[in-house]
Chain A
Amino acid sequence: MTLNTDMQVNRIDDYLWEIPPSEKAGMLVPARIYASSAILGAMDRGVFDQVTNVACLPGIHRYALCMPDGHWGYGFPIGGVAAFDPEDGIISPGGVGYDINCGMRLIRTDLTLSEVQPKLELLMTELFRRVPAGVGSRGFVNMTRREFREVMRQGAGWCIARGYGWAEDLERIEERGCLEGADPAHVTDYAIERGINQLGTLGSGNHYLEVQVVSDKHLFDREPAAAMGLTGRDQIVVMVHCGSRGFGHQVASDYLKVFEKAMRRYGISVKDQQLACAPFRSPEGQDYFGAMNCAANTAFANRQVITHQIREAFAAVFDSTPHALGMQLIYDVAHNIAKVERYGDREWLVHRKGATRAFGPGSPELPDCYRAIGQPVICGGSMETGSYLLVGTNRAMHDTFGSTMHGSGRTMSRAQAKRTVRGEQLLRDMKQHGILVKAVSMSGLAEEAGLAYKNISEVVHTVDQAGITKKVAELKPIGNIKG
């Protein structure tokens, strides 16, 4: 097998590969990549370079990991997972990503495809109207700076207290939609000015809102599916992929500058400027953690407001109420985050960048409704091919710091995708295939064509076979909103 690296990559089993510390000066632990042979062979050189760079960071524990949807990223690869000793390890914005708490949310309904199909055009138009997307879009929630700071502290709970959601939503959000330790004092005015008008907006790039269908043939495991309120029978669900928007990006940019200087002070050198970091317990590390938690909570709030708008849109189109339509939240999970988590008798600072928490059955962090089945894991695919719902496993708790994949991962650049397919043609082709798309930007739409992504089924098969998450259902798109 030819790989895009000169480093030695040892096979652990059919779905796990290891690069030993001897392959790069400074590696403190091995780097491990979850992949089938085919996926590993197609991985870009950046994955191998970057996951081994991560393995050099101070305080790293056991392994630097990369999931099968991995590809080149800033600092960490996308799909990167690493745990650090909170006492003498580092925290790195490059291990979280610019879009802090970019994540996925899935909402169920009692509606079926046959009920939605006749009103799909109306529904997508209503969703497109209520959930702003694209360059410079602004949300409907007007806030003072004081209120925005409360959003940073309270996350999704702030929204629910104001009627944008249901009280029971909170237990179905990672960390109940609010990370402790958010400190707005460490957020710059620039970040506040970028974010204060963006609550309830999707953004652009690979972010989307998608109406999907779960058919019987795509339901792989009925017990966890039933616990999540999924029965198959062409049931309609709604998926949201977005994060902390410009606010989170500004926090990341601000602290990359702070950390570049801090590294000199603490005598830390890194293999890549985008891995700028500081000791977690240092003033700079704690300031970033406080600001990052603000951005993470704002992202939870963003997805909560969008959920409110989705429920209102469905209620308007189907002349009903969200409760009568059975629009319960299935789950909301982050895939760009750093959190202190307990494994056994120790706490570790786990960075997930383009990787999803996947806690197994019995985890005390899970709500009662999911404790027996494991945490729901929502993995978004391309808008043409569909997405997956999985559950976390105890193997993930042992092997990957309770982590798994987050999506399908790109294989083609945005520029190449735009040269290969035109947005207008893609819109028509997808409509012919039963997927109605509403997009702000035709060039942005072309960039997200299915051909630009890995085959998500292959990626999901890898994590399923590796045992770090188990497949529950495949979700097929019928309507998509893009910025």
Chain B
Amino acid sequence: MPGTFRFLDEIAVADMAFEAEGDSLPALFDAATQALIESLANPATVAQTWQQTVNMEEPDVDTLLFEWLNRLVYLKDAQAVVFHHATLALHATPDRSAWHLHAELVGAPVDQTTQDLRSDVKGVTKHLYAVTQTGTSWKARVVLDV
């Protein structure tokens, strides 16, 4: 099952917040990534002319999701791009002491004439940040500084 996300109204009055969930960890990462992509621009209006591969490793899934989302924000500014989609592959070392993310990001340079641009997200914050597991379901709450 693909993950889902919804924007939260009253958590950050001056900024943005979302909750993503999935019935697996990869589904959660997909949903949270989609939430951030859609915060920046309507992906349906973004061409697929730019690609980048990202590999990241962190000691736990909380940190990995936090750093991955922040990487998207960094790439948006450093390369002046917005995103169409991302294909993610997630795996842990056998002893689960490290988590690895392989991402294929696809998007296009920012073009104000053709893209439906939304918020210029400036950072993912630790405020109320949480990644939780209930059975096999995963949920993340993320507050974005805009």
Contacts and interface: CB of A to CB of B under 8 A. Distances in A.
Interface in A251-286: 252-253, 256, 272-274
A414 interface: yes
Contact of B125 (A197, A274, A443): A274
B70 interface: yes
B12 A99 contact: no
A440 interface: yes
A415 B10 CA distance: 8
Contact of A250 (B9, B15, B74, B109): B74
B109 to A, nearest CB: 8
B113 to A, nearest CB: 10
Nearest to A204: B120
A291 to B, nearest CB: 15
B80 A138 contact: yes
Contacts of B81: 136
A444 interface: yes
Interface in A95-153: 98-99, 134-138
Interface string A413-445: 111100000000000000000000000110110
A441 B9 CA distance: 20
A190 interface: yes
Contacts of A249: 122-123, 145
Contact of B112 (A206, A440, A443): A440
A458 interface: no
A262 to B, nearest CB: 15
B145 A72 contact: no
Interface string A61-92: 00000000001111000100000000000000
Interface in B49-97: 70, 73-74, 76-78, 80-82
Contacts of B74: 190, 193-194, 246, 250
A194 B82 CA distance: 14
A94 B7 CA distance: 24
A178 B89 CA distance: 46
Q: How large is the interface on B (under 10, 10 to 19, 20 to 34, 35 or more residues)?
A: 35 or more
A443 B40 CA distance: 11
Contact of A74 (B8, B118, B120, B127): B127
Contacts of B119: 135, 204-205, 414, 441, 443-444, 447
Contact of B120 (A44, A138, A250, A483): A483
B31 interface: no
Interface string A182-197: 0000000010011101
B13 interface: yes
B46 to A, nearest CB: 11
Contacts of B145: 74, 98, 249
A412 interface: yes
Given A136-B76, A249-B122, A413 B9 contact: yes
A441 B118 contact: yes
**Interface residue SS majority, chain B:** mixed
Contacts of A447: 119
B110 interface: yes
Interface residues of A, number: 46
B67 to A, nearest CB: 9
A410 interface: yes
Interface string B91-118: 0000000000000000001101000111
A74 B16 CA distance: 12
Given A99-B122, A135-B40, A204-B146, A441 B117 contact: yes
A393 interface: no
A258 to B, nearest CB: 13
A203 interface: yes
A118 to B, nearest CB: 27
Given A190-B74, A415-B7, A483-B120, A197 B80 contact: yes
A71 B125 contact: no
Interface of B: 7-10, 12-16, 40-41, 70, 73-74, 76-78, 80-82, 109-110, 112, 116-120, 122-123, 125-127, 145-146
Interface of A: 44, 71-74, 78, 98-99, 134-138, 190, 193-195, 197-198, 203-206, 245-246, 249-250, 252-253, 256, 272-274, 410-416, 440-441, 443-444, 447, 483
9 contacts: A72-B13, A98-B145, A135-B76, A135-B120, A137-B110, A256-B126, A273-B126, A441-B116, A441-B118
